[in-house]
Chain A
Amino acid sequence: MNARKTSPASGTRDGKRARILLTPEGLSLPITLAPRGARAGALIIDVMIIGGALLAVFLGMLWMVTGMLDGTSFDPDQLSKGAAEFLGILLTLFVFCTWYGYFLVQELGPRGATLGKRIVGIRIAARGAARLTPEGVIARNLLRDIEIFYPLVALLVLSQMAQSGEDIGILGWVMTGWFLLFALFPFFNRDALRAGDIIAGTWVVERPKARLAAVLSAQGAAANAGSSEVTGVRYEFGDAELSVYGEKELQTLERMLRDARPEALAAVHATICRKIGWDPGAGDERAFLEAFYAQLRAKLEGDMRFGKRKADKFS
């Protein structure tokens, strides 16, 4: 019954990324998987935020230690060991909690997205119609370490070692291979899952957002049974004239009417007039199109109620 897979209003929706979500009520909802580039961008933003926060805290602590040194007239031996140790513990725990907590707490929240994901407009969701569980969120975030950060850190260390003249053998290539294997993982499956998504049973989708647009048939010529407010002419189309177009053209016309650029409307007006054999006038295009839209939609929706659908002008 719900054959419509993508709604034409969101024509940008990439067909390869469109999925159908079946709710427990049996309703099929179209969802769009997040593009891989957006996910990479979100991760970069998140890492930058974490890095910035850690750096700020570290500098703050450094400042405090400097203050303590000041108090001891720059003699490190007189430095209060307890205070320094306390700062050390604080830093270690802060790093640990930030690193794992940042992703966990935010993805468990009602938005299901970290700050970076929110900025690029994506969120995590359970695959299929399952519920997102805390366990799933934990699993997907624990795996991020071996996917990205562990090999990167190892590579960094290895390159340092290589620069200082140590022989690292093939270890560098092994680590590069490891990194590439996981970084490119999303390119080798249909749903763009990374390893953590597989383990957690999640995927990343675009966050839906749409504003409720105005009611077209309650404004302009559509509301006044086809009469133009400018000229007072009443546009009325016959059955033959209305059966030229189908749903696809109707919804294109709807988009045009909503976006409303006069030059574009004039062009559409001319095209429709040519098609139905009317003589295109000028100056009253909007009223004409509104009337045409309302009457075409009334006809197509009337047919729909009897189970007759006309997808486009060719059918």
Chain B
Amino acid sequence: MKAPVISSWFSRGTVAAPPDIESAALRSDRFRLAREADWKRLEAILVRMEKGGLRRIADEDLIALPALYRTAASSLSVARETSLDAATLAYLEALVQRAWFQVYGPRQGFERWLRGFLLGGWSRAVRALWLDICVALFVMVAGTIVGWLLVADDEAWYYRLYPAGGGDPRVPGATREQLLETLGHDERAFGLAGFAAQLFSNNSGVCILAFALGFAFGIPSLMLLVHNLALLGALLWLFNGQGLVVELAAWLSVHGTTELFGILLSGAAGLHIGRAMAFPGPASVLESAAAAGRRSAVVMVGVVIMMIVAALLEAFPRQLVEDTTGRFVIGGTMLVFWLSYFILYRPAPQDAG
């Protein structure tokens, strides 16, 4: 007549109270009955943690969690040596595994991770990829030159690079005025925000592709860079023919310093993975790929942020600011900002938790 019945209505998932320890005939079952309450408490905490959020868990439970986990773990190793109760062993194995996922799971919430990422994690990851960035930069410059030379050699290449641009005045043979007009500001200023959202979605898709293709030893990533920059080279050649290359550079630089930088980083991230898989060094291929993948994933989150910035720049200032110097100033400022953020900003790494 001790356990009040009412309490069982309020506690979730109650089971029948375990029998007295003395009632068990076997030593191993007495061992289990003596520790069962701790296991049950651990299980209840785990269920609440899995259901979501640490907020719903009392402080004392959270403090007790590591101790309860170790109790269950040691119970398991004792039970393995002394008990033949298969059901208890299976329960303990599952319990310890679930607790392990929580105790050694991702400790930071998304918010804390994001803060660590912005305050140093991102620039650290970028610096770790310096060699790949150099290679990708070289490939991009080479791609631009190749694009220029191809088109200069044979104008048919221009149409191959820009297939069927119906209505686009940017074709070989266009007049200076026509080309200049494409660099002018857009009359329809109201469409810009939607334009920005489209650009962002499209560009980040390309960047994620460049990164993911790194899985094939990085070669497709580089090909994607060459292709994209060959387009730029062809465009430069076209505008150079009418002596408009400075104006084009200004027009491009507004968002291009950010966007091309982002493409550079995603290509480098892809290349980093490819390189780690092709030349794993002393680690195994799997370990090496996993380490490289985690490093470049950080860079990729940054690339998505850069694409947001680039799309906003492309949609608003580029269309609204018309004078060449102003455009160069915006583009140059962004470039200086990114470079100093990645190279000069070096806070001491915080405890990753």
Taking Cβ atoms with an 8 Å cutoff, the residues of A that contact B are 1-2, 4, 7-10, 21, 23-25, 27, 29-31, 81-82, 85-86, 88-89, 92-93, 95-96, 105, 108-112, 123, 125, 127, 129, 131-139, 142-143, 145-147, 150, 195, 198-201, 208-213, 215-219, 222-223, 225, 247, 250-251, 254-255, 258, 294, 297-298, 300-301, 304-305
Which residues of B sit under 8 angstroms from A298, Cβ to Cβ?
25-27
The residue from B84, B100, B108 contacting A297, defined by CB atoms under 8 A apart: B84
Chain B, range 191-227, C-beta contacts under 8 Å to A? 191, 193-194, 196-198, 200-201, 204, 208-209, 211-213, 215
Cβ A304 vs Cβ B191 within 8 A: no
Interchain nearest-CB distance for B41 vs A (Å): 12
Which residues of B sit under 8 angstroms from A29, Cβ to Cβ?
93, 96-97, 100
Interchain nearest-CB distance for A288 vs B (Å): 16
Taking Cβ atoms with an 8 Å cutoff, the residues of B that contact A are 15, 18-20, 23-29, 32-33, 36, 39-40, 43, 49-50, 52-53, 70, 73, 76-77, 80-91, 93-98, 100-102, 104-108, 110, 113, 190-191, 193-194, 196-198, 200-201, 204, 208-209, 211-213, 215, 273, 286-287, 289-298, 300-301
The residue from A4, A23, A137, A208 contacting B73, defined by CB atoms under 8 A apart: A23
State whether A218 and B97 are in contact (beta carbons under 8 Å apart), knowing that A27-B73, A135-B294, A142-B300 are contacts in the complex: no
| A-B contacts, 11 listed (Cβ < 8 Å) | A86-B193, A89-B193, A95-B201, A105-B110, A132-B106, A133-B106, A195-B215, A208-B94, A212-B88, A301-B28, A301-B84
Cβ A112 vs Cβ B100 within 8 A: no
Which residues of B sit under 8 angstroms from A4, Cβ to Cβ?
80
Residue of B nearest to A302 (CB): B27
Q: How far is the CA of A216 from the CA of B86 in the complex (A)?
A: 11
Which residues of B sit under 8 angstroms from A8, Cβ to Cβ?
86
Cβ A254 vs Cβ B32 within 8 A: no
Cβ A301 vs Cβ B197 within 8 A: no
Which residues of B sit under 8 angstroms from A89, Cβ to Cβ?
193-194, 196-197
Cβ A134 vs Cβ B96 within 8 A: no
State whether A218 and B209 are in contact (beta carbons under 8 Å apart), knowing that A24-B104, A199-B215, A294-B25 are contacts in the complex: no
Which residues of A sit under 8 angstroms from B39, Cβ to Cβ?
212
Which residues of B sit under 8 angstroms from A216, Cβ to Cβ?
29, 85
Which residues of B sit under 8 angstroms from A125, Cβ to Cβ?
101
Main secondary structure of the interface of B (DSSP, over half): helix
Which residues of A sit under 8 angstroms from B27, Cβ to Cβ?
298, 301
State whether A30 and B93 are in contact (beta carbons under 8 Å apart), knowing that A81-B190, A298-B25, A304-B81 are contacts in the complex: yes
Which residues of A sit under 8 angstroms from B29, Cβ to Cβ?
215-218
Which residues of B sit under 8 angstroms from A150, Cβ to Cβ?
209, 212
Which residues of A sit under 8 angstroms from B289, Cβ to Cβ?
198-199, 201
Cβ A255 vs Cβ B86 within 8 A: yes
Residue of B nearest to A247 (CB): B84
Interchain nearest-CB distance for B216 vs A (Å): 9
Cβ B97 vs Cβ A112 within 8 A: no
Which residues of A sit under 8 angstroms from B204, Cβ to Cβ?
96
State whether A215 and B32 are in contact (beta carbons under 8 Å apart), knowing that A25-B73, A29-B93, A131-B107 are contacts in the complex: yes
Q: How far is the CA of A300 from the CA of B301 in the complex (A)?
A: 57
State whether A217 and B84 are in contact (beta carbons under 8 Å apart), knowing that A133-B294, A199-B290, A201-B290 are contacts in the complex: no
Q: How far is the CA of A225 from the CA of B296 in the complex (A)?
A: 65
Q: How far is the CA of A222 from the CA of B23 in the complex (A)?
A: 10
Interchain nearest-CB distance for A246 vs B (Å): 10
Interface core residue of A132, A146, A212 (most chain B CB under 10 Å): A212
Which residues of A sit under 8 angstroms from B97, Cβ to Cβ?
21, 29, 31, 208
Residue of B nearest to A189 (CB): B286
Closest 3 CB pairs of A and B: A201-B290, A199-B293, A208-B94
Interface core residue of B49, B90, B105, B295 (most chain A CB under 10 Å): B90
Q: How far is the CA of A86 from the CA of B190 in the complex (A)?
A: 10
Cβ A254 vs Cβ B86 within 8 A: yes
Interchain nearest-CB distance for B305 vs A (Å): 13
Which residues of A sit under 8 angstroms from B90, Cβ to Cβ?
7, 9-10, 210
Interchain nearest-CB distance for A243 vs B (Å): 15
Cβ A301 vs Cβ B83 within 8 A: yes
Cβ A27 vs Cβ B76 within 8 A: yes
Cβ A212 vs Cβ B91 within 8 A: yes
Q: How far is the CA of A219 from the CA of B33 in the complex (A)?
A: 13
Q: How far is the CA of A146 from the CA of B201 in the complex (A)?
A: 16
The residue from A92, A132, A146, A199 contacting B209, defined by CB atoms under 8 A apart: A146
